[in-house]
Amino acid sequence: MPRGAAHILLCDDDDDVRRFIAEFLDSAGYTIHEASGPQAALDILEQSAEIDLLIVDYAMPGMNGLETIRQARQRRPGVRPLLITGYAEAMADGTVGIPLLHKPFTPSELARTVAELLAV
């Protein structure tokens, strides 16, 4: 899949983190859809025809990232997830089979991980 064709849904309740990641991925040629929380992300999944990758923060109010991924997969079984977190407890919370990127990460780590996930 050509890099520019990929649609990424980014869900993080921290405006600064979300803006930084979105701007970086946009500059790399991806189409970015931003959500400030889990419900907004699920709404976008229901409304948008194309979402190739869901990048979701683990610690958010109302619903954590793992539950967001679980519900996203009910709506879109083929969506590829990436969980981002600064919290060690995310490891003990059932992340088996879900790619995980620990905050803080470098732009190159993010770019490499996203490219690998989209190449599958």
Q: How far is CA 44 from CA 19, 35, 36, in A?
A: 17, 8, 11
CATH classification at residue 64:
3.40.50.2300
Q: Residue 4 pLDDT > 60, yes or no?
A: no
Four-CA torsion 72, 90, 11, 2, nearest 10 degrees: -80
Task: Dig out the tokens for 1 from the structure.
Answer: 């899949």
pLDDT at 93: 58
Structural domain of residue 53, as residue ranges?
3-119
Query: What digits encode the pLDDT tens for the residues 65-106?
Result: 999 999 999 999 999 999 998 876 656 656 668 999 988 999
Number of domains forming the structure of the chain: 1
Indicate the pTM of the whole model: 0.91
